[in-house]
Structure 1
Amino acid sequence: MKNCLLISTMFLTGIVSAQDSISPKLVEEIQQPQPILENKNLPTFKNSLGELKINIDSSGDKNVKFGFSNQVWFRYLENNPGTAVNGVPQDRTYDAGIRRMRITLNAQLTQAYSIFLQFGINNQSFISGGGTGTGGNGQGKKPQIFFMDAYNELAIVPRVNAETKKPNKNHLYLGAGLHSWSGISRITNASTTKLLTADLPVFHFPNIEVSDQFARQFGIFAHGEFNKLNYRVAVNKPFATNRQPGVGEIVDNNQGGKLSYAGYGMYQFLEKETTATSFLAGTYLGAKKVFNIGAGIYTSADATLAQPEAEVFRSYDNTMIGVDAFLDMPIGKPSKEMAISVYSAFFDYNFGPNYLRTNGIMNPGKKDPNFTGIAAVEGYGNAKYLLGSGQMWFTQAGFVLPKFSHQLKVQPFVSYTLKDLDGLNDLAHFYDVGANLFILSQNAKLAYQYSSRPLFEAESKQLLTRRGEHLFTLQIAL
């Protein structure tokens, strides 16, 4: 931590020194919010905060951009049967925490070369996310800051011509490091500060915190645009896993050290989206007219290991495929500033026979040792079946209500996920419904969401019951 503080201090000192050569006019421009787009027929969201950018030279080719975001969660959870929270049996739990706190830094050293860094914390609640123990060093306190992204990027064909200063029709960038230029789908590359729903469904990150680090892997990547085709490809070294399966189990195990290969492409029928970073918006609130269709893949050889019978082991290749469509545009009279946003994606995952994985976001619960009823196979707290070998379909839709304020906007939304997993004997249906209240465009918003999840019985792998959770989140992002 001391090293991080020393590096930060040295960097900021360098920025302050660099500012000596920046004209007052440039500094003034940094502080002024910029509209989201220039088309006067679409909403401009004049109250948005713009970006925090420091130009190092008069041309603006050398600059540093900063980003800050914080998502605070408050929840009312209906716990799975047999749950104890902090050692006390609880059917329902009030919860608070920080889902995401991020700081990003993008340094454009020349028009051809840049560095992107993102660090922060994720998933700290009142009971989890930090160290171990109780009291002043309790497990919910003092989580460790870590880097999510740290990569270098080289412009082979830049977006803007260096001589004419006009946009190039096509562009191509190469990069290397710890990155999130991922395959499979649009939502696998989602911007967490421009979500339609209050949170992501997470299953679209097939290796989350197993052979990746918060959906990132080390590797080399390329991304760019050819006419209306936007694409990204990567060759990565997955994080090592070495779990050993019991008889009849299949688990993550890539001890053979094979590489992973990923790619995603989308054809942009209407306006083009900006892909200076890997993250794609879940909604533009009608600030763009976008209709894209896309497809992607992730594959890695010998990534899971099964023991079908005693002392017999078999490795399986992992392959995940996704196809999706995204529509976001204004509708109705321009003065009403209404908009629709729809996203739908189909996934086919193959980890090997009957592979299943459970997950509970910021799960506060553990097993109640005195519980004598029927427990769900997923476990305790808010755990659910996240993903597995099989097919999944996800759809979300939102509608920006007619304008009633110069500053505020309201956007109700719904989402639905169908999981047809080989290891379960019933279909799994997941539902979400809620609304966003935008205060400063997407820089400041409040969101409410109710989610309903299915739970399965251990022996039959059939539907046992359902549980829900109420989520209220406050987001500030720049």
Structure 2
Amino acid sequence: MRKLFLILTLIFLQYTQAQDSIKVEKKTEDMPKEKNPLDIGELKINLNPEKDKWLKFTISSQIWLRSIDNNPGTLVNGVAQEHTYDAGIRRMRLIMQSQLTPFYSIFLQMGINNQNFNSGGGTGTGASGAGKKAPFFFHDAYNELAIIPRNNFQTGKPNKNNIYIGAGLHSWNGVSRMTNASTTKMLAADIPVFNFPTIEIADQFARQLGVFVHGEFDRLNYRFSINKPFATKTTPAVGGPAVDNNQSGKLSFAGYAYYQFFEKEVTATSFLAGNNLASKKILNLGAGFYTNKDATQTQPSENVFESHNTNIFGADVYSEIPLGEKRKEMGLTLYSVFYNYNFGPDYLRISGIMNPGTPDPDFKGQKMIEGAGNNRVLMGTGNIWFSQIGFVIPKFSKILKIQPYFNYALKDMRALNQTGSYYDVGANFYLYGQNARIVAQYSSRPLYDISSKRISDRKGEFLLSLQIVL
């Protein structure tokens, strides 16, 4: 009996140890894998088990804190101010993408822009709240059909060539890479805005209604569109410059293409990155155009009107160069673009982002072409050369990355008698990759005397930007 008891005891102990071992192995298998601290995932809902039908959301927010040196003769909320502090929402966006079938997709983007304490407000806010209730509107709303998809639906392997067509309110723009810029992957705190030649004039926040085609032919990435510009009908002054007036209703045509020498970029949306933290080796050369017949108008003499075509050309180079040892994750980002604009005789556009100021009618000092607040010469008939460079410093943290940068723009406008230099210097502080960043930037702009049309002063602006992308 003792021997039988000992044998049964040994069998029981071995069985118990085996069960414990199985439990430990199972527990190890069930334990989640260690996650990359920089990977916060994506907001995606799969609509079928194969995961080829889905609904995806992206949320982005850019908050600005600023210190602005106002142009001479500025009123802020009716009070003369040489200097203004403010806070504002530069962009707040919600994107919805849906792949309904392997061939058919929908893209929607909604949001608000440019709201501060006294600008960007909705209708009806009046003197008791000029900056309140900023309008929430569609930025993009288009449908897209894959003629030749990026990846073969049967094998899953990439196709060497692909082509997509679509229609709606879209931003598959021409002219340059920066005219198709991603506002969540910018090198600087913001894009220079003159990269959108018809922004908020013949377009809706850089979008027009129409049809487009885009895709790749081996290493050549391309996009072309035919659109109906939004209506304009500004009346020109007698003997004055060209103004926006497209009452004849002509279509616009746009295109942009770039050749990719090294790594290829995926263009599932229209937006092209201006900064990948030099994580890729990229060298792209591109060129593009935008044309719209009878887009502007002049009045050479009383009640005699003359229409002018808008023709815009751009050529650019974009490069990202990883440097040194891979583990240091450092590198250079470079971009340079040349724009040739022709909007008609002496066309000139003045603008200031979230401008807090209005002109003081009683101002007796030297007056500037730019007017009040943080207005600057944005663009016009003439040429602009713009370049930027950024450097990701060697890795010193698992969470934080630092990238100083510099922007420079040289504007030669025919309506002015002197070329103007504009620059921004700043640094990006990235948290969790490009999902969260803080930007500190100082900008300097020239001011043109209203009589001589030559530079007579400069003003600056300090910006702290807080950006989140999910």
User: One fold, TM greater than 0.5?
Assistant: yes
Q: Please, which of 444, 456, 461 is the counterpart of residue 452 of structure 1?
A: 444
Residues 42-101 of structure 1: CA distance to partner in whole angstroms, max 9, x if unpaired?
A: xxx751323221111121110011000000000000000010100111000001100000
Partner of residue 56 from structure 2, selected from 38, 54, 65 = 65
Q: Which residue of 1 aligns with 2:243?
A: 251
Q: Cα–Cα, structure 1 residues 398 and 317, in superposed 2: closer, same or farther, change >3 Å?
A: same
Contact 2:279 2:329 in 1 (8 A): no
1:168–1:475: structure 2 CA closer, same or farther, 3 Å change rule? same
Matches of 2:82 and 2:33, distance apart in 1: 50
Q: CA deviation at 1:311?
A: 2.3
Q: Is the partner of 2:327 in helix, strand or coil? A: helix
Counterpart of 1:90 in structure 2 is: 81
1:138 corresponds to 2:125: no
SS of 2:192's equivalent? coil
Rate the CA distance shift 1:136–1:302 in 2: closer, same or farther, 3 A. closer
Could you list the runs of 5+ residues in structure 2 that have no partner in the other structure?
1-31
2:405 equivalent in structure 1:
413
**Any gaps of 5 or more consecutive residues in structure 1?**
1-30, 35-44
In the TM superposition, what whole-angstrom CA distance separates every residue of 1:426-477 from its partner, at most 9, and x where no partner exists? 0011010000000011100000111100110112111121111001000000
> CA-to-partner distance for each residue in 1:289-343, whole Å, 9 max, x for gaps?
1110000000000000001222221100100000000001211111211011000
Cα deviation for residue 368 of structure 1 reads 1.9
In 1, distance between residues paired with 2:37 and 2:308?
Answer: 53
- Pairing partner for 1:465 from 440, 457, 461: 457
- Aligned mates of 2:160, 2:355 — CA distance in 1: 47
The equivalent residue for 2:425 is 433
Check if 1:236 corresponds to 2:220.
Answer: no
Q: Distance in 2 between matches of 1:113 and 1:429?
A: 46
In 2, Cα distance between equivalents of 1:208 and 1:69? 21
**Matching residue's letter, 1:174:** I
Measured in 2, the distance between the counterparts of 1:84 and 1:33 equals: 56
Task: Name the SS for the 1:241 alignment partner.
Answer: coil
- Find 1:198's aligned residue among 189, 195, 218: 189
Contact 1:131 1:137 in 2 (8 A): no
- Trace 1:16-165 onto structure 2 (pairs within 5 A): 46-131=37-122, 138-165=129-156
1:280 alignment partner in structure 2: 272
Structure 1: distance between partners of 2:318 and 2:129: 43
Structure-1 separation of matches of 2:397 and 2:363: 52
Q: CA deviation at 1:361?
A: 0.4
Alignment correspondent of 1:181:
172
2:441 & 2:349 partners in 1: Cα distance? 24
Supply the distance in 2 between the matched residues of 1:317 and 1:368 (Cα, whole angstroms): 35
Find 2:346's aligned residue among 343, 351, 354. 354
- Alignment deviations for residues 261-304 of structure 1 (CA, whole Å, 9 cap, x no partner): 00000000000001000001111112211110000000000000
Q: Distance in 1 between matches of 2:123 and 2:59?
A: 28
Counterpart CA distance in 1 for 2:117 and 2:226 is: 38
* Structure 1 pair 385–33 and aligned structure 2 pair: CA distance change class (3 A): farther
Q: What TM-score does the superposition give when structure 2 sets the normalisation length?
A: 0.91
Q: What TM-score, normalized to structure 1?
A: 0.90
1:371 equivalent to 2:397? Answer: no
Match of 2:384 among 382, 392, 406: 392
CA contact (8 A) 1:80 1:381 kept: yes
Structure 2: distance between partners of 1:248 and 1:386 = 22
In 2: Cα distance, 1:257 partner to 1:68 partner: 36
Q: 1:256 Cα shift?
A: 0.3
Count of aligned residue pairs for this structure pair: 438
Matches of 1:166 and 1:131, distance apart in 2 = 49
**1:171-203 Cα distance to aligned partner (Å, 9 max, x none):** 100000000000000000000000000011000
Helix, strand or coil at the partner of 1:166:
coil
- Cα shift at 1:133: 6.2
Per the alignment, do residues 137 and 372 of structure 1 end up closer, same or farther by CA in structure 2, a change over 3 Å counting?
closer
Specify the SS of the correspondent of 1:318.
Answer: strand
Match of 1:325 in 2: 317
- CA RMSD in angstroms comes to 1.6
- Kindly indicate whether residue 260 of structure 2 is the aligned counterpart of residue 268 of structure 1: yes
How far apart, in 2, do the equivalents of 1:335 and 1:288 lie?
14
2:163 match: secondary structure: strand
- Classify the secondary structure of the residue corresponding to 1:211: coil
Tell me the SS of whatever aligns to 1:335. helix
Once the two structures are superposed, what CA deviation does each residue of 1:237-262 show, in whole Å capped at 9, x if it has no partner?
A: 00000110011221000000000000
Within-5 A mapping of 1:274-313: 274-313=266-305
Distance 1:171 1:33, change over 3 A: farther
Aligned partners of 1:464, 1:327: CA distance in 2, in Å?
36
Give the C-alpha shift of residue 169 in structure 1. Answer: 1.0
